[in-house]
Homo-oligomer: A and B are copies of this chain.
Amino acid sequence: MPKRIFTFRRGAADRTADASEALGLKGANLALLASLDVPVPPGFTLATSVWREVQSGGDGLPQELRADLRMAIEWLEGVTGRGFDGDTRPLLLAVRTSARAQMPGLAESVLDVGLNDRTVDILAAELDDPAFAYRSYRRFIESYAHLVLAVDPAEFEDIADAEAAEAGWTEEPGDRAGWRALIARYQTYLDAEIGAVVPQTPLEQLSAVIEAAYATWRSPLATSHRLIQGIPENAGLAITAHAMIFNEHDHNSGTGRAVSRDLTTGESRLSGEFGLVAPRAREIGEKPPVLDLGTLSAGDAERFPADMAELTEHVRRIEAHVGDVVEVDFMVGDGELFLMQSRVARRTAGEAIRIAVQFVDEGLIDEAEAILRIDPNSLDELLHPTFERTSDLVVLGRGMPASPGAATGEIVFTSERAQELANEERPVILVRNETYPEDIHGMHVAEGVLTIRGGTTSHAAVVARGIGRPCVTGAGALRINAGTATLHAAGKVLREGDTITIDGTSGEVIEGAVPLLRPALTGDFATLMDYADRARRMRVRANTETPIEARSARAFGAEGIGLCRTEHMFFEGDRVRSMREMILASDETGRRAALEKLLPIQRSDFTELFEIMAGLPVTIRLLDPPLHEFLPQSDGEIAETASMLGVDESVVRQRIAALQEFNPMLGHRGCRLAISYPEIVETQARAIFEAAIDAGEKAGEAVVPEIMVPLVSLRKELDFVKGRIDKVAALVMDERGCEITYSVGTMIELPRAIVRADTIAEIADFFSFGTNDLTQTVYGISRDDAGNFLSTYVRQGIIERDPFQTIDVEGVGELIALAVEKARRTRPDISLGVCGEQGGDPASIAFFEQTGLDYVSCSPFRVPIARLAAAQATIRDERSRRGRARR
């Protein structure tokens, strides 16, 4: 049997190699503090192995454990000079569960174990404070009954109320007799109603508390938490017991929290607060006074009941040991200082960056360490507009936080109206019941999007995240009245043109305009990004097709465009009309005529993008969605389209019906369109090449257009489309009399392309993994429909997280690794990247680093996140490689 009980006291703690596994977080931390010669209350920890021993045994605690417990108590009696059930100076214990990770559902602390009808009076005499002693005893009985006997604390409130009424006191009994009567009434109740009392023997109390605390490991809340967090069921629970500090006894006592630095400035001086005990204050219903440690340490230390310099010194020592800003919980009992717990200080993303850079400047950590200390996802809050939460905000309602950031603008209810106001440069918020593909142009021109229905994977949410618009979805308490063009919320009626603010990070909808704080990549943030850029191997590009976003992507450090979705260029205004004309044309001639109209528009779009990205690669994906997404839906639009085309409405309706699909995700889209209608590819390729020449001439620096063929499953598909592109390239070069450097590659987003990656790579200059569609096809899950069952899956523990957000390493990931290996086998110099949403997800980026991809591409607003995550991935990968090499 391994060692069961580990003792600790200032300056000495039993050691163990795997402290947090063997002793849990709290036990390990107390042992650490003790070994750092910081004052801690002396005590001991029952190792997690004891929990396992108890589980595998029969009822109750084994005899050997009881013997060890007795020995530990005797040791503690010696250290404290107190006695468990002693005749003077009674030893009282605080008992806590200590798991290897934070876990809800476990037993709460039980304080003052060791008090009984006898020791309560001895304690009262020792401290000369019967009220304090009896208050503690009452609390102990309540805690014990709650944990061990499962008695609802409300029962005791009722009993106390009855006793107070009979005895004529209000808050608590006024004298010892009153207290004794209350305690007696408690025990009588327990005896009569529960059939058990709180034992008088301290060791029995302790055993019962330990046993009951162990049982909470199996509570439903704790169990489901372990399932979600992947903590093994048999990890087990440690329990710490330490001598009580009488921090609530007199004016020289209290509880505090100290942080080793000022988190805002990074300056090395204590901050935090200390709450003095003030029994009188409580009696008269006031809050006990709270002292600001920052002020105290700056020279007002005499108000602190212990030695401020000593506390400062202890915290410094812990910070130096941990190598990071720490936060400690401490107590002062009768003027004596005890540190109860320490942890790395929580901080906002901004504070974390400040501290990390400061630590590098102070030479405490290196850049790699600074990089690893920042959670890339935490940067999100720095990269979107925010606003200050003042008390005068009028919240109209709440929905799902579907795409982060805050936005302010006038309410519009249609994409057409959004367009009109946007043309007048008026900021708008598009408010819809739900959005459809035809709303994409409206979403593009809007500052933000609010929908009444849908969740975080609805059309509105996915598109908004993709184009970086703040979005709130599923704000079900709001109601749109289409007839009157009004929005009904919180008893108010808002009209088109009224201003609202939405916060896609919190899901709030707020009345009126709120001043927004715009993100900037400056100061410490910029410094951290410099560290990351020096450390990372993978390149980071952005997914975007609009000039505004392309500029912001460059400002955020994007090294090119990894995904320009040309279809988004076709939804706006006149463009969608020409698109419809093309789709509804009865033959190739008609299609070519419509495409001719789209050619100059596309060329000028590309030219602008290329100028912005001068010197960098730009990956342009050919038209991808099924054509029916472009067709009119409303009666009005159908009529308009029919009159524009000079055909009967029924013709338009028939064509719409003919293009409908059962499963559009698996339908006539991607390169399948290019093969059915090669004239589309030819027009797009011409626009790209002509734009590349124009932009190169204007910007003086050429871009390298990379043309990406979507949805390839057969090499011959790519053969066909690449043939058309190369033909157009030769033509344009001939016409313009110059050379264009370009490449043709493909999106890898279908399992068949993975299997045939070797042969496809023979003619592809690059692969870009489209993790969205790849996840859909590998799982056979439609993202649009997954809401109906994925939540059940998470609840049942069948999946841990949404495979669309973070790569499914075992399934999709294994296939990507297979494709990488196959592709490099036939074409070692192939460029490999990823352009699905996972390109901006840190956990996924770690996988892409391991898989050896060359770049990731993500939405512009996630570029800094990806830069940091890529740097972390490189550092971790190198470390683990070095680690393996050493072994």
Contact = CB atoms under 8 A, between A and B. Distances in A.
Interface of A: 661-668, 672, 675-676, 711, 713-714, 716-717, 720, 749-752, 755-756, 773, 776-782, 784-785, 788-789, 792-793, 796-799, 808, 810-812, 814-815
How many copies of this protein are present in the complex? 2
B720 A796 contact: yes
A811 B756 contact: yes
A847 to B, nearest CB: 15
Given A750-B779, A797-B716, A811-B752, A666 B668 contact: no
B814 A755 contact: yes
A799 B719 CA distance: 12
A792 B674 CA distance: 11
Contact of A675 (B720, B780, B793): B793
Contacts of A755: 778, 810-811, 814-815
A713 B666 contact: no
A812 B756 CA distance: 10
A785 to B, nearest CB: 4
Given A789-B672, A789-B676, A751 B773 contact: no
B779 A752 contact: yes
20 contacts: A661-B784, A662-B664, A666-B782, A668-B788, A668-B789, A672-B789, A675-B798, A713-B778, A713-B781, A716-B798, A720-B796, A750-B779, A751-B780, A751-B815, A752-B778, A752-B808, A756-B810, A756-B811, A773-B780, A777-B777
Nearest to A627: B788
Given A751-B777, A789-B676, A784 B662 contact: yes
B782 A812 contact: no
Given A665-B780, A666-B780, 5 more contacts: A661-B785, A663-B785, A666-B782, A667-B785, A720-B796
Contacts of A778: 713, 750-752, 755, 777
A780 to B, nearest CB: 4
Contact of A780 (B750, B796, B799): B750
Interface of A is mostly: helix
Contacts of A785: 661-664, 666-668
Contacts of A796: 675, 720
Contacts of A756: 810-811
Contacts of A799: 714, 716
A46 B335 CA distance: 116
A39 to B, nearest CB: 49
A665 to B, nearest CB: 5
Q: Which of A667, A720, A780 has the most CB of B within 10 A?
A: A780
Contacts of A810: 755-756
B713 A782 contact: no
A665 B668 contact: no
Q: Which of A676, A717, A755 has the most CB of B within 10 A?
A: A755
Given A666-B785, A779-B752, A780-B750, A798 B714 contact: yes
A676 B776 CA distance: 20
A486 to B, nearest CB: 24
A797 B714 CA distance: 12
Nearest to A792: B676
A788 B717 contact: no
Contacts of A668: 785, 788-789
